[in-house]
Amino acid sequence: MAKVGFVVGSIRKNSFSGQLAKNVAELLPAGYEAQFIEIAHLPLYNQDYDENSPESYKTFRETVKAMDGIVFVTPEHNRSFPAALKNALDIGSRPYGQSVWNGKPALIISNSPGSLAGFGANHHLRQVLAFLNMPVVQQPEIYIGQVHELLGQDGKITNQSTIDLLKSAVGALVSLIQKFKA
């Protein structure tokens, strides 16, 4: 069973990103298991912790290490991705030379209630993941604008073309995972 970690950039309860992530997790094919990786509880990264990390850092790193691929679902904060997500990326990349992100295939899904659909967040996250040596699904790129209009009261996506786009992205991630597991 391949494990796909879901890292949600928003730490708000019932966030649009969290709702989208749940929808995407349901699109994983047989043989793939979704695991949501919490980031809200992580203390701010501090290099002083490299020698003696808090238990939350150790648990987080071990969880990420066990994943075969990662799906990042993020909103946009001030034309970039949220600080909580950057903190999680920093924690997982340290101590230097021991990054748990290294070589893990990834998919980025950005979203926004606005029409730009988290474009800035998506591209800033791509820059960081390139440095962390994470192969990222290039096509399709996933930007979900007017996200609040695509989610029903139950948190399910109501638009079939959006579901189809997400299915194709999950398929591309599965192909990338298979390529790197071979």
| Average pLDDT over the chain, rounded to an integer | 97
CB 52 within 8 A of CB 87: no
Q: Would you state the structure tokens that stand for residue 114, as one six-digit string?
A: 């606005």
pLDDT digits (tens, 9 = 90+) for 6-37: 999 999 999 999 999 999 999 999 999 999 99
Listing DSSP states for 137-164 in one string gives --SS-EEE-SHHHHB-TTS-B--HHHHH
CA-to-CA distance for 2 and 20, rounded, in angstroms? 21
Picking from 88, 114, 112, the residue whose alpha carbon sits closest to that of residue 101 is: 88
Whether 182 has a pLDDT exceeding 80, the answer reads no
pLDDT, average across residues 46-67: 96
pLDDT digits (tens, 9 = 90+) for 64-103: 999 999 999 999 999 999 999 999 999 999 999 999 999 9
pLDDT digits (tens, 9 = 90+) for 128-157: 999 999 999 999 999 999 999 999 999 999
CA-to-CA distance for 56 and 61, rounded, in angstroms? 9
- Tell me, yes or no, if the pTM score tops 0.85: yes
pLDDT at 120: 95
What is the percentage of the chain residues whose pLDDT exceeds 90? 96
CA-to-CA distance for 37 and 146, rounded, in angstroms? 25
Could you give all domains of the chain from N- to C-terminal order, each with its CATH number? 2-181 (3.40.50.360)
Strands (E) in the chain, as ranges, are: 2-8, 32-36, 69-75, 106-111, 142-144
pLDDT, average across residues 96-115: 96
pLDDT at 181: 83
